[in-house]
Structure 1
Protein backbone atom coordinates (compact mmCIF):
# COMPACT_ATOMS: atom_id res chain seq x y z
CA UNK A 1 0.00 0.00 0.00
CA UNK A 2 1.37 3.43 -0.98
CA UNK A 3 1.64 6.18 1.62
CA UNK A 4 -0.84 9.06 1.31
CA UNK A 5 0.66 12.01 -0.53
CA UNK A 6 0.23 15.66 -1.42
CA UNK A 7 0.94 16.15 -5.11
CA UNK A 8 1.54 19.11 -7.40
CA UNK A 9 2.02 18.96 -11.16
CA UNK A 10 3.61 21.98 -12.82
CA UNK A 11 1.93 21.09 -16.15
CA UNK A 12 0.04 18.21 -17.74
CA UNK A 13 1.80 14.94 -18.56
CA UNK A 14 4.79 15.19 -16.17
CA UNK A 15 8.05 13.90 -17.57
CA UNK A 16 9.96 14.08 -14.28
CA UNK A 17 9.08 13.48 -10.63
CA UNK A 18 10.51 14.75 -7.36
CA UNK A 19 9.65 12.64 -4.32
CA UNK A 20 10.20 14.91 -1.30
CA UNK A 21 10.26 13.53 2.26
CA UNK A 22 9.43 15.84 5.18
CA UNK A 23 11.14 16.05 8.54
CA UNK A 24 10.17 14.70 11.96
CA UNK A 25 6.72 15.74 13.14
CA UNK A 26 5.77 17.51 9.90
CA UNK A 27 3.79 16.04 7.01
CA UNK A 28 3.61 16.16 3.24
CA UNK A 29 2.20 19.68 3.30
CA UNK A 30 5.39 21.06 4.85
CA UNK A 31 7.38 21.62 1.66
CA UNK A 32 4.52 21.96 -0.83
CA UNK A 33 4.71 25.79 -0.64
CA UNK A 34 8.30 25.66 -1.90
CA UNK A 35 7.20 24.63 -5.41
CA UNK A 36 6.56 28.12 -6.86
CA UNK A 37 9.87 29.41 -5.46
CA UNK A 38 11.84 26.43 -6.73
CA UNK A 39 10.48 25.72 -10.19
CA UNK A 40 11.84 27.37 -13.31
CA UNK A 41 9.13 27.80 -15.99
CA UNK A 42 11.62 26.52 -18.58
CA UNK A 43 11.72 23.08 -16.96
CA UNK A 44 9.75 20.17 -18.44
CA UNK A 45 6.46 19.25 -16.70
CA UNK A 46 7.17 18.03 -13.18
CA UNK A 47 5.24 16.09 -10.58
CA UNK A 48 6.10 16.81 -6.95
CA UNK A 49 5.15 13.99 -4.60
CA UNK A 50 5.12 14.88 -0.89
CA UNK A 51 4.29 11.73 1.12
CA UNK A 52 3.05 11.68 4.70
CA UNK A 53 5.27 9.51 6.92
CA UNK A 54 3.52 6.96 9.15
CA UNK A 55 2.55 8.03 12.68
CA UNK A 56 4.71 6.38 15.34
CA UNK A 57 5.93 7.04 18.90
CA UNK A 58 9.18 9.02 18.97
CA UNK A 59 11.44 8.33 21.94
CA UNK A 60 13.25 11.67 21.98
CA UNK A 61 9.88 13.45 22.18
CA UNK A 62 8.81 11.53 25.30
CA UNK A 63 7.20 8.78 23.25
CA UNK A 64 4.68 11.15 21.67
CA UNK A 65 3.16 9.80 18.47
CA UNK A 66 3.83 11.89 15.36
CA UNK A 67 4.67 11.47 11.72
CA UNK A 68 8.19 10.11 11.49
CA UNK A 69 10.22 8.02 9.07
CA UNK A 70 11.79 6.20 12.02
CA UNK A 71 12.17 6.49 15.78
CA UNK A 72 14.95 8.64 17.24
CA UNK A 73 16.35 7.66 20.62
CA UNK A 74 18.72 10.66 20.88
CA UNK A 75 20.50 13.17 18.67
CA UNK A 76 23.87 11.82 19.79
CA UNK A 77 26.17 10.53 17.04
CA UNK A 78 26.47 7.18 18.82
CA UNK A 79 22.78 6.77 19.65
CA UNK A 80 20.98 3.55 18.77
CA UNK A 81 19.48 3.69 15.30
CA UNK A 82 15.98 2.45 14.57
CA UNK A 83 17.14 0.12 11.82
CA UNK A 84 13.76 -1.59 11.43
CA UNK A 85 11.98 1.76 11.02
CA UNK A 86 14.61 3.02 8.59
CA UNK A 87 14.40 -0.08 6.44
CA UNK A 88 10.61 0.05 6.43
CA UNK A 89 10.75 3.65 5.20
CA UNK A 90 13.27 2.70 2.50
CA UNK A 91 10.66 0.18 1.38
CA UNK A 92 7.98 2.90 1.35
CA UNK A 93 10.19 5.03 -0.91
CA UNK A 94 10.70 2.08 -3.25
CA UNK A 95 6.92 1.80 -3.52
CA UNK A 96 6.63 5.50 -4.34
CA UNK A 97 9.32 5.20 -7.03
CA UNK A 98 7.52 2.22 -8.55
CA UNK A 99 4.26 4.18 -8.63
CA UNK A 100 5.95 6.98 -10.56
CA UNK A 101 7.30 4.44 -13.02
CA UNK A 102 3.80 3.02 -13.45
CA UNK A 103 2.63 6.56 -14.26
CA UNK A 104 5.16 6.86 -17.07
CA UNK A 105 8.17 8.48 -15.37
CA UNK A 106 11.31 6.31 -15.65
CA UNK A 107 13.61 6.06 -12.65
CA UNK A 108 16.34 8.11 -14.35
CA UNK A 109 13.87 11.05 -14.36
CA UNK A 110 13.07 10.74 -10.65
CA UNK A 111 14.76 12.82 -7.94
CA UNK A 112 14.63 11.78 -4.27
CA UNK A 113 14.69 14.71 -1.87
CA UNK A 114 14.25 15.16 1.85
CA UNK A 115 14.74 17.40 4.85
CA UNK A 116 16.26 16.20 8.15
CA UNK A 117 15.23 12.57 8.72
CA UNK A 118 13.44 12.73 5.37
CA UNK A 119 16.80 13.59 3.80
CA UNK A 120 18.38 10.70 5.67
CA UNK A 121 15.88 8.27 4.14
CA UNK A 122 16.28 9.85 0.69
CA UNK A 123 20.00 9.09 0.92
CA UNK A 124 19.57 5.59 2.31
CA UNK A 125 16.95 4.64 -0.28
CA UNK A 126 18.55 6.36 -3.25
CA UNK A 127 22.00 4.86 -2.82
CA UNK A 128 20.49 1.37 -2.54
CA UNK A 129 18.04 1.73 -5.44
CA UNK A 130 18.69 -0.73 -8.26
CA UNK A 131 17.98 1.60 -11.15
CA UNK A 132 19.63 4.92 -11.86
CA UNK A 133 17.94 8.01 -10.40
CA UNK A 134 18.20 11.59 -11.66
CA UNK A 135 19.56 12.83 -8.34
CA UNK A 136 19.38 12.83 -4.54
CA UNK A 137 18.83 15.91 -2.36
CA UNK A 138 19.69 15.90 1.35
CA UNK A 139 18.84 19.04 3.32
CA UNK A 140 19.98 19.33 6.95
CA UNK A 141 20.40 15.55 7.02
CA UNK A 142 22.88 12.76 7.70
CA UNK A 143 23.56 9.26 6.39
CA UNK A 144 21.72 6.55 8.35
CA UNK A 145 22.69 2.86 8.35
CA UNK A 146 26.14 4.10 7.37
CA UNK A 147 27.94 0.94 8.45
CA UNK A 148 25.92 -1.19 6.03
CA UNK A 149 26.10 1.09 3.00
CA UNK A 150 29.33 -0.23 1.49
CA UNK A 151 27.84 -3.72 1.27
CA UNK A 152 24.29 -2.70 0.33
CA UNK A 153 24.76 0.17 -2.12
CA UNK A 154 23.90 -0.41 -5.76
CA UNK A 155 26.27 0.46 -8.59
CA UNK A 156 23.32 1.89 -10.57
CA UNK A 157 23.52 5.02 -8.41
CA UNK A 158 27.26 5.11 -7.86
CA UNK A 159 27.57 8.26 -9.99
CA UNK A 160 24.18 9.80 -9.23
CA UNK A 161 24.56 13.52 -8.36
CA UNK A 162 23.90 14.45 -4.75
CA UNK A 163 23.02 17.94 -3.49
CA UNK A 164 23.65 18.50 0.22
CA UNK A 165 22.73 21.68 2.07
CA UNK A 166 23.35 22.21 5.78
CA UNK A 167 23.06 25.08 8.27
CA UNK A 168 26.30 25.94 10.07
CA UNK A 169 24.32 26.63 13.26
CA UNK A 170 22.03 23.59 13.04
CA UNK A 171 21.26 22.53 16.64
CA UNK A 172 19.36 19.37 15.63
CA UNK A 173 21.54 17.67 13.01
CA UNK A 174 24.81 19.35 13.94
CA UNK A 175 27.11 20.37 11.10
CA UNK A 176 29.76 17.84 12.12
CA UNK A 177 27.29 15.01 11.66
CA UNK A 178 26.62 16.20 8.11
CA UNK A 179 30.35 16.60 7.46
CA UNK A 180 31.08 13.07 8.73
CA UNK A 181 28.38 11.67 6.44
CA UNK A 182 29.73 13.65 3.50
CA UNK A 183 33.26 12.38 4.12
CA UNK A 184 32.06 8.78 4.30
CA UNK A 185 30.23 9.12 1.00
CA UNK A 186 33.25 10.74 -0.61
CA UNK A 187 35.46 7.91 0.65
CA UNK A 188 33.14 5.51 -1.20
CA UNK A 189 33.52 7.52 -4.40
CA UNK A 190 30.29 9.53 -4.43
CA UNK A 191 30.32 13.03 -5.90
CA UNK A 192 28.50 15.56 -3.73
CA UNK A 193 27.73 19.21 -4.25
CA UNK A 194 28.06 20.46 -0.67
CA UNK A 195 26.72 23.80 0.56
CA UNK A 196 26.59 25.39 4.00
CA UNK A 197 24.40 28.34 4.94
CA UNK A 198 24.21 30.77 7.89
CA UNK A 199 21.10 29.20 9.39
CA UNK A 200 19.89 26.63 11.90
CA UNK A 201 17.73 23.58 11.16
CA UNK A 202 15.90 25.22 8.30
CA UNK A 203 15.84 26.10 4.61
CA UNK A 204 16.85 29.55 3.36
CA UNK A 205 16.33 31.49 0.09
CA UNK A 206 19.99 31.10 -0.92
CA UNK A 207 19.65 27.33 -0.57
CA UNK A 208 16.53 27.33 -2.75
CA UNK A 209 18.41 29.33 -5.39
CA UNK A 210 21.30 26.84 -5.35
CA UNK A 211 18.85 23.97 -5.54
CA UNK A 212 17.01 25.52 -8.51
CA UNK A 213 20.29 25.79 -10.41
CA UNK A 214 21.28 22.21 -9.51
CA UNK A 215 17.91 20.78 -10.49
CA UNK A 216 17.88 22.74 -13.73
CA UNK A 217 21.07 20.97 -14.80
CA UNK A 218 19.39 17.60 -14.32
CA UNK A 219 15.81 18.11 -15.45
CA UNK A 220 16.21 20.00 -18.72
Structure 2
Protein backbone atom coordinates (compact mmCIF):
# COMPACT_ATOMS: atom_id res chain seq x y z
CA UNK A 1 0.00 0.00 0.00
CA UNK A 2 1.31 3.45 -0.91
CA UNK A 3 0.57 6.63 0.99
CA UNK A 4 -1.84 7.68 -1.76
CA UNK A 5 -3.93 4.66 -0.79
CA UNK A 6 -3.88 5.47 2.93
CA UNK A 7 -7.25 7.15 3.35
CA UNK A 8 -7.58 9.84 5.96
CA UNK A 9 -9.70 12.66 7.33
CA UNK A 10 -7.97 16.02 7.03
CA UNK A 11 -9.14 19.06 8.98
CA UNK A 12 -7.57 22.26 7.71
CA UNK A 13 -7.13 25.40 9.85
CA UNK A 14 -8.91 28.60 8.89
CA UNK A 15 -5.53 30.24 8.17
CA UNK A 16 -2.61 28.90 6.15
CA UNK A 17 -1.26 25.69 7.67
CA UNK A 18 2.20 25.95 9.23
CA UNK A 19 2.00 22.86 11.47
CA UNK A 20 0.45 19.41 11.46
CA UNK A 21 -0.80 16.78 13.91
CA UNK A 22 -0.94 13.23 12.54
CA UNK A 23 -3.24 11.33 14.93
CA UNK A 24 -3.36 7.51 14.71
CA UNK A 25 -6.42 5.62 15.96
CA UNK A 26 -6.65 2.37 17.90
CA UNK A 27 -7.54 -1.19 16.90
CA UNK A 28 -10.83 -1.55 15.05
CA UNK A 29 -11.43 2.20 14.96
CA UNK A 30 -10.79 4.65 12.13
CA UNK A 31 -9.75 8.24 11.69
CA UNK A 32 -13.40 9.13 12.26
CA UNK A 33 -13.08 8.10 15.90
CA UNK A 34 -10.85 11.00 16.92
CA UNK A 35 -11.58 13.63 14.27
CA UNK A 36 -14.45 15.14 16.34
CA UNK A 37 -12.06 16.14 19.14
CA UNK A 38 -10.54 19.01 17.14
CA UNK A 39 -13.18 21.59 18.18
CA UNK A 40 -13.15 20.15 21.71
CA UNK A 41 -9.48 21.11 22.00
CA UNK A 42 -10.61 24.76 21.80
CA UNK A 43 -7.53 25.93 19.93
CA UNK A 44 -9.33 29.01 18.63
CA UNK A 45 -9.46 30.15 15.01
CA UNK A 46 -6.01 31.67 14.50
CA UNK A 47 -3.87 28.55 14.72
CA UNK A 48 -2.29 27.05 11.60
CA UNK A 49 -2.51 23.40 12.65
CA UNK A 50 -3.61 20.85 10.06
CA UNK A 51 -5.03 17.70 11.66
CA UNK A 52 -4.73 14.41 9.80
CA UNK A 53 -6.57 11.31 11.01
CA UNK A 54 -5.50 8.39 8.79
CA UNK A 55 -7.41 5.12 8.55
CA UNK A 56 -5.30 2.03 9.20
CA UNK A 57 -5.41 -0.71 6.54
CA UNK A 58 -7.90 -3.53 7.05
CA UNK A 59 -6.41 -6.87 8.07
CA UNK A 60 -7.15 -10.04 10.00
CA UNK A 61 -6.51 -9.75 13.75
CA UNK A 62 -5.58 -13.02 15.42
CA UNK A 63 -6.85 -12.29 18.93
CA UNK A 64 -10.25 -11.43 17.46
CA UNK A 65 -10.60 -14.77 15.72
CA UNK A 66 -9.08 -13.53 12.47
CA UNK A 67 -11.82 -10.95 12.04
CA UNK A 68 -11.00 -8.32 9.41
CA UNK A 69 -10.75 -4.83 10.88
CA UNK A 70 -8.67 -1.68 10.70
CA UNK A 71 -5.38 -2.31 12.48
CA UNK A 72 -1.86 -0.93 12.32
CA UNK A 73 -0.56 -4.45 13.02
CA UNK A 74 -1.79 -7.90 13.99
CA UNK A 75 -2.11 -8.82 17.66
CA UNK A 76 -1.35 -12.50 18.15
CA UNK A 77 -1.19 -12.57 21.94
CA UNK A 78 -2.19 -10.39 24.88
CA UNK A 79 1.24 -10.96 26.42
CA UNK A 80 3.08 -7.63 26.30
CA UNK A 81 6.28 -9.07 24.79
CA UNK A 82 4.36 -10.81 22.00
CA UNK A 83 1.47 -8.42 21.47
CA UNK A 84 2.72 -6.37 18.53
CA UNK A 85 3.44 -8.18 15.26
CA UNK A 86 6.88 -6.89 14.25
CA UNK A 87 6.35 -7.13 10.51
CA UNK A 88 3.05 -5.27 10.74
CA UNK A 89 4.59 -2.56 12.91
CA UNK A 90 7.35 -2.03 10.37
CA UNK A 91 4.89 -1.89 7.47
CA UNK A 92 2.79 0.73 9.22
CA UNK A 93 5.91 2.67 10.13
CA UNK A 94 6.64 3.06 6.42
CA UNK A 95 3.10 4.32 5.78
CA UNK A 96 3.39 6.86 8.59
CA UNK A 97 6.78 8.08 7.40
CA UNK A 98 5.25 8.55 3.95
CA UNK A 99 2.54 10.70 5.53
CA UNK A 100 5.20 12.81 7.23
CA UNK A 101 7.11 13.17 3.95
CA UNK A 102 3.88 14.20 2.23
CA UNK A 103 3.44 17.04 4.71
CA UNK A 104 7.05 18.14 4.24
CA UNK A 105 6.43 18.28 0.49
CA UNK A 106 3.44 20.52 1.24
CA UNK A 107 5.67 22.95 3.12
CA UNK A 108 5.33 21.76 6.74
CA UNK A 109 8.79 21.09 8.24
CA UNK A 110 9.13 18.03 10.46
CA UNK A 111 9.94 20.36 13.37
CA UNK A 112 6.29 21.51 13.15
CA UNK A 113 4.77 18.02 13.04
CA UNK A 114 3.35 16.16 16.05
CA UNK A 115 2.96 12.40 15.79
CA UNK A 116 0.11 11.32 18.05
CA UNK A 117 -1.85 8.15 18.68
CA UNK A 118 -4.16 6.19 20.94
CA UNK A 119 -3.65 2.51 21.89
CA UNK A 120 -2.30 0.79 18.74
CA UNK A 121 -1.91 4.25 17.24
CA UNK A 122 0.08 5.32 20.29
CA UNK A 123 2.35 2.31 19.87
CA UNK A 124 2.99 3.41 16.29
CA UNK A 125 3.56 7.06 17.21
CA UNK A 126 6.19 6.01 19.76
CA UNK A 127 7.87 3.45 17.54
CA UNK A 128 8.01 5.68 14.48
CA UNK A 129 8.92 8.85 16.35
CA UNK A 130 11.73 7.22 18.33
CA UNK A 131 13.32 5.80 15.19
CA UNK A 132 12.75 8.80 12.91
CA UNK A 133 15.99 10.50 11.75
CA UNK A 134 14.22 13.87 11.57
CA UNK A 135 13.31 16.28 14.36
CA UNK A 136 9.61 16.37 15.32
CA UNK A 137 7.69 19.00 17.29
CA UNK A 138 6.37 16.35 19.66
CA UNK A 139 5.29 12.74 20.14
CA UNK A 140 2.04 11.92 21.94
CA UNK A 141 1.25 8.35 22.96
CA UNK A 142 -2.02 7.66 24.77
CA UNK A 143 -2.97 4.42 26.57
CA UNK A 144 -0.29 2.34 24.89
CA UNK A 145 3.00 0.48 25.27
CA UNK A 146 6.29 -0.07 23.51
CA UNK A 147 6.05 -2.78 20.83
CA UNK A 148 9.35 -4.14 22.13
CA UNK A 149 7.88 -4.63 25.64
CA UNK A 150 10.45 -3.85 28.31
CA UNK A 151 13.07 -2.61 25.84
CA UNK A 152 13.34 0.49 23.72
CA UNK A 153 12.97 -0.17 19.96
CA UNK A 154 15.97 -1.20 17.92
CA UNK A 155 17.28 1.40 15.53
CA UNK A 156 16.67 4.15 18.07
CA UNK A 157 17.45 7.64 16.81
CA UNK A 158 18.78 10.33 19.14
CA UNK A 159 17.43 13.17 16.98
CA UNK A 160 14.26 13.41 19.08
CA UNK A 161 15.88 12.93 22.48
CA UNK A 162 14.93 16.51 23.45
CA UNK A 163 11.59 16.43 21.65
CA UNK A 164 8.64 16.60 24.10
CA UNK A 165 7.07 13.16 24.48
CA UNK A 166 3.67 13.03 26.18
CA UNK A 167 2.46 9.74 27.70
CA UNK A 168 -1.06 9.42 29.15
CA UNK A 169 -2.76 6.34 30.58
CA UNK A 170 -5.85 5.31 32.51
CA UNK A 171 -5.30 3.73 35.92
CA UNK A 172 -8.35 1.50 35.30
CA UNK A 173 -7.31 0.44 31.79
CA UNK A 174 -8.28 -3.21 31.30
CA UNK A 175 -7.03 -3.39 27.69
CA UNK A 176 -3.49 -2.04 28.08
CA UNK A 177 -2.42 -2.22 31.74
CA UNK A 178 -1.19 1.07 33.16
CA UNK A 179 2.03 -0.72 34.12
CA UNK A 180 2.84 -1.13 30.42
CA UNK A 181 2.57 2.60 29.82
CA UNK A 182 4.55 3.40 32.94
CA UNK A 183 7.27 0.97 31.85
CA UNK A 184 7.59 2.83 28.55
CA UNK A 185 7.87 6.12 30.41
CA UNK A 186 10.60 4.85 32.74
CA UNK A 187 12.60 3.36 29.88
CA UNK A 188 12.46 6.62 27.93
CA UNK A 189 13.23 8.70 31.00
CA UNK A 190 16.18 6.44 31.81
CA UNK A 191 17.65 7.07 28.36
CA UNK A 192 17.35 10.83 28.80
CA UNK A 193 14.33 11.44 26.56
CA UNK A 194 12.20 14.51 27.32
CA UNK A 195 9.19 12.52 28.54
CA UNK A 196 6.10 13.59 30.49
CA UNK A 197 3.76 11.07 32.16
CA UNK A 198 0.26 11.48 33.57
CA UNK A 199 -2.29 8.90 34.67
CA UNK A 200 -6.02 9.61 34.81
CA UNK A 201 -8.95 8.01 36.61
CA UNK A 202 -10.29 6.35 33.47
CA UNK A 203 -10.31 3.07 31.57
CA UNK A 204 -9.17 2.60 27.95
CA UNK A 205 -10.53 5.90 26.71
CA UNK A 206 -10.03 9.66 26.92
CA UNK A 207 -11.64 12.14 29.33
CA UNK A 208 -12.32 15.93 29.20
CA UNK A 209 -9.56 16.80 31.69
CA UNK A 210 -7.09 14.93 29.51
CA UNK A 211 -8.19 16.76 26.35
CA UNK A 212 -7.60 20.07 28.11
CA UNK A 213 -4.07 18.94 28.98
CA UNK A 214 -3.50 17.81 25.39
CA UNK A 215 -4.66 21.18 24.09
CA UNK A 216 -2.20 23.04 26.32
CA UNK A 217 0.59 20.65 25.36
CA UNK A 218 -0.06 21.11 21.63
CA UNK A 219 -0.01 24.86 22.06
CA UNK A 220 3.35 24.58 23.84
CA UNK A 221 5.11 22.45 21.20
CA UNK A 222 3.65 23.85 17.96
CA UNK A 223 3.99 27.38 16.53
CA UNK A 224 0.57 28.21 17.94
CA UNK A 225 -0.80 31.54 16.75
CA UNK A 226 2.48 32.45 15.09
Shared fold, TM over 0.5? yes
TM-score (norm 2): 0.93
* SS of match in other structure, 1:97: helix
**Is 1:200–2:203 an aligned residue pair?**
yes
**Which consecutive residues of structure 2, in runs of 5 or more, have no partner in the other structure?**
none
The alignment status of 1:25 with 2:28, answered yes or no, reads: yes
Provide the rounded CA distance (Å) in 2 between the counterparts of 1:74 and 1:56: 16
Aligned residues: 220
Unaligned runs of 5+ in 1: none
Which piece of structure 1 moves more, 39-48 or 194-203?
Answer: 39-48
- Equivalent of 1:66 in 65, 69, 82: 69
When normalised by structure 1's length, the TM-score is: 0.95
Given the superposition, is the C-alpha separation of residues 187 and 138 from structure 1 closer, same or farther in structure 2, using an over 3 Å criterion?
Answer: same
Question: 1:125 matched to which residue of 2?
Answer: 128
Question: Does the Cα contact within 8 Å between 2:17 and 2:48 map onto a contact in 1?
Answer: yes
1:91 maps to what in 2? 94
CA contact (8 A) 2:171 2:199 kept: yes
1:3-48 per-residue CA deviation (whole Å, 9 max, x = no partner) reads 1111001223200000000000001111000000114116531110
- Structure 1 residues 145, 43: CA separation in 2 closer, same or farther (over 3 Å shift)? farther
> CA offsets per residue over residues 87-119 of structure 1, 9 Å max, x none?
011111100000000111000000000000100
Runs of 4+ residues deviating >4 angstroms: none
CA distance in 2, matches of 1:47, 1:11: 9
Q: Distance in 2 between matches of 1:96 and 1:148?
A: 26
| Aligned-pair Cα RMSD in Å | 1.5
Q: Distance in 1 between matches of 2:137 and 2:160?
A: 9
